[in-house]
Structure 1
Amino acid sequence: MKALVYEGPREMNLRQLVDPEPLEDEVLIRVAYSGICGSELSGFLGHNALRKPPMVFGHEFSGTIEALGARVVRNGLHVGAHVTANPLVTCGECRYCLSGRQQLCPSRQLLSAALPGSNAELVKIPARFVYPLPSGMPLRRGALVEPVACGVRVAELAAPKPGERAVVAGMGPIGLFALQALKLHGVTDLYAIDLSPERLEIAESLGAIPIMPNSTSDVAAEVRRLTGGGADIAVDAVGASVTRRQCIDFTAPGGRVIVTGLHEAESSLQVNTMIRSEISLLGSFAYSAVTFEKALAYLAHGWVELDEWIEEAPLEAGAAWFDQLIAKPGKTAKVLLVP
């Protein structure tokens, strides 16, 4: 099969690899679409310790079942079925898995990090992580379930109450999906922060009030002015020290800050401010099986979308798109590679 292989910082090449063979409990999927994730952009730059070369990236995908392992018997799973998959492979036996918090499984393995990913013609994964797409759901939309699940998890942790105000910093795919998930959870007073006017246009079309930082403005002061005292919910979908600190600065007393961006491993935070204002800080890493299924339902019903801002590209153009998304993404919110 052909596959896009990460071979070092800013080095990604199309290679011919041996076709994977499914074990008795696995499903082999012919990939239709494979999304480029923000965490993989940092991996491409060599900034992610989990992604070591050589590695096939890709964990947001959809496709058609090519083959089934000998012991796979599940309704909806058959050769030719249109499917997506939860790429977070967990043990199913630890206390986290048994309590429905699979994303915290200490032995979890992610496609595109610990396991070969979907930037290839074929990918294999245990059958219990494979989900048939609802009837009529396009394969292109099925490739969005994983990033939508990340956004839904942000909204679950934020636990919005009626009348609360939410601000999301960073209008990459996760930030845009978190905006929509918060809206579905009842937030009507939504604000979006980004340095890109094109990304802010997308956020505004999704119902958010845009806030553009500039060299002369105090972002926190502007947010407090617009929200009438500060945000009840602040989401950092960037992962930089400056945006994490800004989110704390513009959160109202008693509010919640959800950090989900992974760009920088460590940040110095104004902890005394959090103590005195009783601000809660919560990390949002991934999603449980239930959250993944919720995201699939949201997409099936058309409650979440980014269709207008998705770019399709052949697998051969993958390395160039990694470079472009780092340099200047513009109005392209998500790139789906087509093997």
Structure 2
Amino acid sequence: MNALIWEAPRQMALREVPTPTPEADEVLIKVAYAGICGSELSGYLGHNALRKPPLIMGHEFSGEIVEVGGQAAETHPHLKPGVGVTVNPLYCREPSEFQERGLDQLCPSRTLLGAHRPGAYAAYVTTPARTVTPLPAGMSLRMGALTEPVACAVRMGELSGDVAGADVLIIGAGPIGLLALQVLKHRGAARVFIVDLDQERLGMGEALGGVAMDPRRQDPVETVREATGGRGVPVAIDAVGLGVTRTQCVAATMSAGLVLLTGLHEETSQMPAADIIRREIRVQGSFAYTPANFAAAVDLLAQGHIGLDPWIVEAPLAEGGLWFERLLDAPGKVAKVLLRP
């Protein structure tokens, strides 16, 4: 089968590799669409210790079941050849206290398809049957490929708490920021301020109902403070991960409010600790999603409450390397690239 192999920083190549065979508890899926994630862009550059070349990346995907392992056929009789599915690529290899609490993404033994094992930038991929979710009737494979990033946004919305009628700030209008905007609006948020340097992405955020801000033209903190009568927002989300964006989120948040950190651009950065302490601001991380968040993402997509059209681009798998470069340099009016094997 054809597979897109990451061989070294900024080096992708389409290679012929053996088609995988599913283990007894696994299924073999013919990949229909596989999205390019921001974490994979970081890996492509060689900045992500989780991913080591040579590697078949790809963890946001959908496809059709081709083969079901013997044990999987008994334990998951609803999984049959021809069924359209999406996959939760983040799962526990061993039981843990976090898994018991429904926080599989925090398991010490967590495994990610496309990082710890071959992913979906290929014609076929195998995965444990327990990670597979059949798509609801009427839901396209194209839409199903968005489930994983939407689940990340659902987690952010859950951790944000009750935002009905409240204003929220998001710094970063990449795919996750745009999806988080939609989740927060769906949860009843009043105004969602969204900040980015890219004019195309700001246009997308505005089209989705956000209040767009270019920090080169207006100070996000001053603008948010002025718009909220000096109080600040109860929830600010950093979807970039720089010291400056994290600090801006703290400054724009009202006393006793919440700063949610999800961007991972910088591993470490200074934070205004004294301001956080004196104003009793809560700072929380948001990492990936729970199985319940993943299921909720499927429902939101199936009901048409969230999406990234008309800014989705479909491209042949062979052009994957070109699209990695374009997304790093000048993506244009593109919110998500879906590769087609």
Q: Which TM-score bucket, shorter chain as reference?
A: over 0.9
143-152 vs 282-291, which deviates more? 282-291
Off by >2 Å, runs of 4+ in structure 1: 160-163, 216-219, 226-229
SS at match of 1:55: coil
Match of 2:149 among 139, 147, 150: 147
Match of 1:131 among 117, 123, 133: 133
SS at match of 1:286: coil
SS at match of 1:256: strand
- The reply on whether 1:89 has 2:91 as its aligned counterpart is yes
Match of 1:262 among 261, 264, 274: 264
Residues 164-179 of structure 1 aligned to structure 2 (within 5 Å): 164-179=166-181
Normalised by the length of structure 1, the TM-score is: 0.97
Alignment check: 8 A CA contact 1:160 1:182 kept: no
Structure 1 residue 246 displacement after superposition: 1.1
Residue 324 of structure 2 is matched in structure 1 by 322
Structure 1 residue 89 displacement after superposition: 2.0
SS at match of 1:210: strand
Match of 2:308 among 306, 309, 314: 306
Alignment check: 8 A CA contact 1:160 1:233 kept: no
238-247 vs 170-179, which deviates more? 238-247
Measure, in 2, the Cα distance between the counterparts of 1:193 and 1:271: 23
Residue 183 of structure 1 is matched in structure 2 by 185
SS at match of 2:82: coil
Q: How many residues align?
A: 338
Residue 291 of structure 2 is matched in structure 1 by 289
Normalised by the length of structure 2, the TM-score is: 0.97
Residue 228 of structure 1 is matched in structure 2 by 229
Deviations 1:70-94 (A, max 9, x none): 1113243100110000000213621
RMSD: 1.1
SS at match of 1:262: coil
Structure 2: stretches of 5+ with no match in the other structure:
none
SS at match of 2:32: strand
Deviations 1:84-128 (A, max 9, x none): 000002136211111111111110010111111101101111000
Structure 2 CA distance for partners of 1:206 and 1:217, relative to 1, 3 Å? closer
| Partner amino acid, structure 1, of 2:198 | S
145-154 vs 75-84, which deviates more? 75-84
Residue 44 of structure 1 is matched in structure 2 by 44
SS at match of 2:65: strand
Measure, in 1, the Cα distance between the counterparts of 2:335 and 2:283: 27
Measure, in 2, the Cα distance between the counterparts of 1:198 and 1:76: 42
Measure, in 1, the Cα distance between the counterparts of 2:153 and 2:93: 24
| Partner amino acid, structure 1, of 2:286 | S
| Partner amino acid, structure 1, of 2:39 | S
Measure, in 1, the Cα distance between the counterparts of 2:90 and 2:205: 28
SS at match of 1:273: helix
| Partner amino acid, structure 2, of 1:290 | A
| Partner amino acid, structure 2, of 1:321 | W
113-122 vs 86-95, which deviates more? 86-95
| Partner amino acid, structure 1, of 2:229 | G
Structure 1 residue 295 displacement after superposition: 0.3
Measure, in 1, the Cα distance between the counterparts of 2:118 and 2:102: 25
Residues 21-32 of structure 1 aligned to structure 2 (within 5 Å): 21-32=21-32
Structure 1: stretches of 5+ with no match in the other structure:
none
